[in-house]
Every structure is written in structure tokens, then in C-alpha cells.
Amino acid sequence: MVSIDHVAHKILTYIPYVLVLIDLRYEGVKCGRDGSVDNHMEMGKKLLAAGQLADALSHFHAAVDGDPKNYMAYYRRATVFLAMGKSKSALPDLSKVIELKPDFTSARLQRGNLLLKQGKLDEAESDFKKVLKSNPSAKEENEAQSQLTKSDEIQRLVAQARSSFNSQDYVTAAAQLDTIIDTCVWDVASREMRVECFIQMGEMGKAISDLKATSKLKSDNTQAFYKLSTIYYNLGDHEMSLKYEEAVSKYEAVMKTEPNVHYFSLFAKERICHCAGTGKTLCCCHDSQEASRAIQVCSEVLQSDPENVNALKDRAEAYIQEEEYEEAIKDFETAAKHSENDRQIKEGLERAQRLLKQSQKRDYYKILGVKRTAQKKEIIRAYRKLAQQWHPDNFQDPEEKKKAEKKFIDIAQAKEVLTDPEMRTKFDHGEDPMDPESQQGHHHHQHFHGGFQGFQGFNPFGSGPFNFKFNFN
């Protein structure tokens, strides 16, 4: 397996937040012929520092409209887009910055990073090489060289993965694609190839996960939706191929029609237990009320059939939705006694154990005060409110300011994880993308080692230096 530089991967993960913190150091740029553009720029920077991204974006839009040749206005707007997780919108602005000011190495480096994440390796390499030829700072030179090395390694790995795939060595190809996608997280082509590998390997759950990702990364991806429907149908779980509510209603009708026939009643309850416990989870829209219902119905099944492995697994999944991880662990352990070689039980138990451990540490949902079912808009709304409340400039006492700075970073990290679909999925499965310890030992991801290390940057919150430590090991 080709070794990929973990340091650069860590930097890529933190691009939006780091940009918010350090790229405000470009001061004194003359933005336009009149004061209105300057005013929009200043107001945009203040709102950006306060975490009010939508409002900051409006001001940078106005600055660009007021002075279309102002490269810094485009760069600021790209910074906001990145902080909002809108890399596709940031890319054209970074390109415009480079067009207006070809020697702006920071913009070129950021564009190269985005192109690398999209799997556009040739274009990314071109940017990194130009950075190295443009008299960069020591930090920019090190990052560009690291990313260029990584891009070369990925190029070779892509060729190897294609060769393995064409030779029908799907296990090897999938492992190689795992490493590629760790870096090129938005590369649709690599994910589509990995989908085919998973299908050939019989790993339908993993194929579904990748198909859902490609359906979001590629506009109008009807092929992905068609494959999803086909996989659901072939799995034989008709709550997957029918609408959730329709499946449940059919089983409830069976119970009403034959209430005195124990076999039918038990079978119907078992299927309702499965639908309520896992059906909505697989559709990515789980509901606390349905989880509670699943626990109740699954418990009724288990009263009649205590060794029902399916009901134990489904109730465990429902317990996880309810964040009752110890109960989930008990159910998975009981199920394992009756089905020792069931990999789904083993994976579920490991996930529940990770989630329990995670719940005893840092919980990003609790940091923002939102439920695990919260939508992106609700998360961003909570983040803005807390970012304003814990803005370090609101505190004068040194100890209180220090506490606020830590709280502010926690809030920003929580928002970063929960608004990024891939990072949120990791967190929901018991991994903390911001915690290097939880990243170790999971073969589908390249992992972070260490935490933040000695970084001292410009204080975007006010006067004086803002000291904070980042670990990029």
C-alpha cells in the first residue's frame, strides 16, 4: 500500500476554519475608487470573524460588484465559501484571484488543494509547481512540495487501482481506492469505481454509502439513483424499495387482519421492528419517535422470542439512535452469542462501543445544543448564535477570554464536523474527525496522528496576538 502524507491531509480537512482564523492578516489593501467597497470589505471581515458567514458573504458580493478587478474581494468571498463548505463556489473565485494577481501564492495553493480533493490531479500538480516557482514563503513551499508529492503518489495509485479493477481483483482495487478517496474525497470517478468493487464483493452497504455520496457530488446523477434502487430491490428488504410508511402500514394491516394468529402477529411485529429500527436510518432521515417505537415493538418480539437475532440487532440500532449506547451494546452482545459469525453484529457492537466512548468525551451535537437529527440549517443557526455569544472580544478578563477562545474553537470545530457530510458520517459512526485517537485502526480512512501543534497566528477577533495550538502530525 502506498503511504500518503498525513500532514497535508490534516491541513485539507481544516481549510475552512484555518482560513477564517489566519487569512484575515491581509490588511490595508486598497479596494476601490470610493469608500463603499472598502466599507463592504471591512464589514465583511468583521462578520466573518464573528461567524456570521451569510452576512459576510453579502458584503463580499457587494465588494466584488463594486470593484470587479479587486482580487482581495474575490479572495475574501472564496474564504467565506470555504468556511460554509461550498468549495464549488470558492473555486471560480480563487481562479479569478489568480487571473488578476498571478503571484498570489496563497490563492493558488488553496486552489490546488481543492483540485486535489476533486481528483483533478494534473491541474492540482500544475498549481503546486507554480507555487514552488513563485518565491513562496517557507510554509507555502513546504505545503506545496508535500501536496505535489502526494499528488504524484495518487497518480500512481490510480493507475494501480484501474489495473487491479480490470484484472477483477476487486479487493485490492477497493483497498487502493480507499487510499485515493481519503485524499480525493470529492472524486466521483474513484467512488463510482469503488461502488462496482463493493458490488462484486457483496458489500452492498458500502456500495450504498458511496452511491449516496456520488449522487450529491454529481448533479443530476440519475445513474447513481438507479443503482441505489436496484441494490435495495435485490437486497430483498422491501422497506428499502418501497416508501418507509407504506412498508409499515402493510405490516400493521396484517396484525389487524389476523390479530389472533400468533405466527402472523409475531412476523408483522418483527418486520415493523426492522422498519422502524433501520428503515429510516438507511434513508438518512431517522426520527427519535420512530426509534422509540422500534424499541417498544422489538421488545414485544423479544418477549415471545428472546433469541431472535434480527430483533436484537434492530433494537440495538434503535438504542443507538436514542443514544442509549450501553443498552445497544447489551443487545449486540446477546445477539453475538446466538450468531457468532455475523459480521453485522460485530461491526454494530464496535460502533456502539465507539459511540459510548465518544459520548464520554466530546460531543459536537451537545456543543452546539442540537439533536443528532438536526438539519444543516439548524446547525448553522445554532453555530452563529453561540459564536456571537462566545466571541473572545466579548470578554475582558484574561482568564475569561482564554476560556472563550477555547469555547469559540470548539464551536467552530463542531460546526465544521456537523456541516460536512463525510465528517458527520464518521462522527455518527463513533469516530471523531478532530480526534487523532479515534482515527486509528479504521481501514477505510487515512488517519490523523497527533492533534494541533504550535501554531501562532493573527488574531481575527481584535488587537494583539491570538495564540492557539494546532496539531498537524
Closest CA to 157 of 170, 176, 172, 174: 176
Span 276-285, pLDDT tens digits: 555 443 333 3
Q: Which residue has the higher pLDDT, 448 or 325?
A: 325
Q: Which residue has the higher pLDDT, 454 or 288?
A: 288
Q: Is the pLDDT of residue 302 over 90?
A: no
Q: Is the pLDDT of residue 178 over 80?
A: yes
Q: Is the pLDDT of residue 49 over 90?
A: no
| pLDDT for res 283 | 35
Q: Which residue has the higher pLDDT, 31 or 128?
A: 128
**What are the residue ranges spanned by the domains of the chain?**
6-155, 241-359, 375-468
Contacts of 177 (CB under 8 A, 6+ apart): 161, 190, 191, 193, 194, 197
Q: Report, at the CATH architecture level, how domain 6-155 is classified.
A: Alpha Horseshoe (1.25)
In the chain, the percentage of residues whose pLDDT exceeds 70 is: 70
Q: Say whether pTM exceeds 0.85.
A: no
pLDDT band at 449 (very low <50, low <70, confident <90, very high): very low
Q: Is the pLDDT of residue 155 over 80?
A: yes
Q: Quick one: average pLDDT of 189-215?
A: 88
Span 390-419, pLDDT tens digits: 888 888 888 888 888 888 888 888 898 999
Q: Decide if 6-155 and 375-468 have a common fold.
A: no
Q: Is the pLDDT of residue 271 over 80?
A: no
Q: Quick one: average pLDDT of 173-190?
A: 92
| pLDDT for res 300 | 85
Q: Quick one: average pLDDT of 4-20?
A: 50
| pLDDT for res 298 | 86
CA distances in angstroms from 158 to 8, 34, 214, 349, listed in the order given: 19, 51, 18, 34
Q: Quick one: average pLDDT of 442-456?
A: 35
Q: Is the pLDDT of residue 56 over 80?
A: yes
* Cα 428 from Cα 372, distance rounded (Å): 8
| pLDDT for res 447 | 35
* Cα 361 from Cα 432, distance rounded (Å): 10
Q: Which residue has the higher pLDDT, 467 or 13?
A: 13
pLDDT band at 15 (very low <50, low <70, confident <90, very high): low
Q: Which residue has the higher pLDDT, 178 or 276?
A: 178
| pLDDT for res 446 | 37
Q: Quick one: average pLDDT of 325-330?
A: 91
pLDDT band at 274 (very low <50, low <70, confident <90, very high): low
Q: Quick one: average pLDDT of 153-181?
A: 94
Q: Which residue has the higher pLDDT, 83 or 2?
A: 83
The 3 state secondary structure assigned to the chain is: CCCCCHHHHHHHHCHHHHHHHHHHHCCCCCCCCCHHHHHHHHHHHHHHHCCCHHHHHHHHHHHHHHCCCCHHHHHHHHHHHHHCCCHHHHHHHHHHHHHHCCCCHHHHHHHHHHHHHCCCHHHHHHHHHHHHCCCCCHHHHHHHHHHHHHHHHHHHHHHHHHHHHHCCCHHHHHHHHHHHHHHCCCCHHHHHHHHHHHHHHCCHHHHHHHHHHHHHHCCCCHHHHHHHHHHHHHHCCHHHHCCHHHHHHHHHHHHHHCCCCHHHHHHHHHHHHHHHHHHHHHCCCCCHHHHHHHHHHHHHHHHHCCCCHHHHHHHHHHHHHCCCHHHHHHHHHHHHHHCCCCHHHHHHHHHHHHHHHHHCCCCHHHHHCCCCCCCHHHHHHHHHHHHHHCCHHHCCCHHHHHHHHHHHHHHHHHHHHHCCHHHHHHHHCCCCCCCHHHHCCCCCCCCCCCCCCCEEECCCCCCCCEEECCCCC
**Ranges 16-25, 135-144, 209-218, 388-397: which has the least confidence:** 16-25
Q: What are phi and psi of 236, to 5 degrees?
A: 85, -5
| pLDDT for res 279 | 45
CATH superfamily for 241-359 is Tetratricopeptide repeat domain (1.25.40.10)
| pLDDT for res 444 | 39
Mean pLDDT of the chain: 76
* Cα 396 from Cα 405, distance rounded (Å): 12
| pLDDT for res 291 | 76
Q: What are phi and psi of 466, to 5 degrees?
A: -115, 110
375-468 CATH: 1.10.287.110
pLDDT band at 54 (very low <50, low <70, confident <90, very high): confident
Q: Is the pLDDT of residue 264 over 80?
A: no
Q: Of the ranges 139-148, 303-312, 319-328, which is most confident?
A: 139-148
pLDDT band at 438 (very low <50, low <70, confident <90, very high): low
pLDDT band at 30 (very low <50, low <70, confident <90, very high): very low
